[in-house]
Amino acid sequence: MKRLNVLVAGMAIAVLASCGGTGTGKVKMNDVKDTISYAIGMGRAVRVYRDQLPGDIIDSVTIKSFVKGFMEAASNPEDNAKLAYALGFEIGCQEMSQAYVGLSENLFGAGEEFNKSNYLAGFSDGILGQWDVMGFEEADETASRLYEVLLQKQFDKVREENTAFYEAQAKENDVVKTASGLLYKVIKLGDGGPKPTATSDVRVKYRGEFIDGKVFDESTTPIQLNLGGVIKGWTEGLQLMSVGDKYKFIIPYNLGYGENGYGTDIKPYSTLIFEVELVEIM
């Protein structure tokens, strides 16, 4: 330990010599503690924090606000009022950039949003326990009921658009409609050999699109799957194909993901378009 102290003292003397012993501004470099305090503080800022700050928020101007907030908190880390303010500010940013945007789009569609002043007033009253406008149970019941109504309205629109697309495709000359309602078009033919069964393992390449042309799933390298574990449109459609065939399937919602959709991407009542190439029957 004594040797370490000597080394640190030697470093401090070198730094003090270069600083003239006083530093600039509020920085005092009069002894070992002064020097190492400043050096470690800077090291923490540069090595731990500076590169982790969100670049879309912190720039050469806003960095001063960050430092000001840090200094105020550091001067009194037990100031609960300031800590509560900082927490509210952080949650406000998250709420309005994430939940508010996501719920608005989910309920009203892209480009639409809540009445922001009412949303914020409701949030504030809920946090503060102020029930003059509406009690919590009433608000909760109202939100649940209207949520279902608005979602169903949105799903009805999706169903109408997707059904119209499906019916238009069914009228195309080179499209075949099966008894179940599956539409398919032959893009290329392969070896004309055996066809898989409803329980076969196969290897395929494919691309899946919505009716607007947006690709939601794709595999350019062959993947293995079992026809008993895929959507009905695939189970039926692949049984029409031989190795080397490439088909386009237009799958109505009742042969796809139905009235519930799948995940956050595939909405209820979606018509799905797949280009599928049968690479191998296992």
The whole-number average pLDDT for the span 114-131 is 90
Per-residue model confidence as pLDDT tens digits over 21-36: 444 457 788 888 888 8
Give the fold, CATH level 3, of 174-281: Chitinase A; domain 3 (3.10.50)
Band the pLDDT of 264: cuts 50, 70, 90. confident
pLDDT at 108 over 90: no
Q: What is the pTM of this model?
A: 0.55
> Domain locations in the chain?
2-82, 174-281
Active-site annotation, residues: 206, 216-217, 231, 257, 274
Kindly give the pairing relationship between strand 183-188 and strand 201-209: unpaired
